[in-house]
Amino acid sequence: MIETHEDVFRQKHLPRVGETVKSKKYGTLWREMEKREVWTPTGDDPETREPRLLPAVQHCYWRIVEGQTPGIGKMLGYAYTLHDTTFETNWEIVPSK
């Protein structure tokens, strides 16, 4: 099966633009500002030695600070593939009120 960007988004249960996530390590709140489909390199194919790329979904987060204008301040960006657990390990989606 060939993986697609939609598979990554659906199977990883990643946040949608505008949703809020919470850092499990620091307890800080971040808003999803942008989602982008990208390709991330992985190890070369052992048989052909050709470089391989995996579909990934890159998310940009803006740190929510009380009283600060949205979009001003610290931002982070991460790319997630089907083969990593970094989103589940580090973030949780905050339910909207």
Q: List pLDDT tens digits, range 10-51.
A: 888 899 999 999 999 999 999 999 999 999 888 777 777 777
pTM for the whole structure: 0.81
pLDDT of residue 48: 76
- Rounded to whole angstroms, the Cα distance separating 13 from 6 reads 11
Over the stretch 51-68, which tens digit does the pLDDT of each residue have?
A: 788 899 999 999 998 888
pLDDT recorded at residue 3: 84
Could you tell me the pLDDT band of residue 81, with boundaries at 50, 70 and 90? very high
What is the residue range of 64's domain? 5-94
Number of structural domains found in the chain: 1
| Pair 57, 35: CB distance under 8 Å | yes
The Cα 13–Cα 23 span in angstroms is: 16
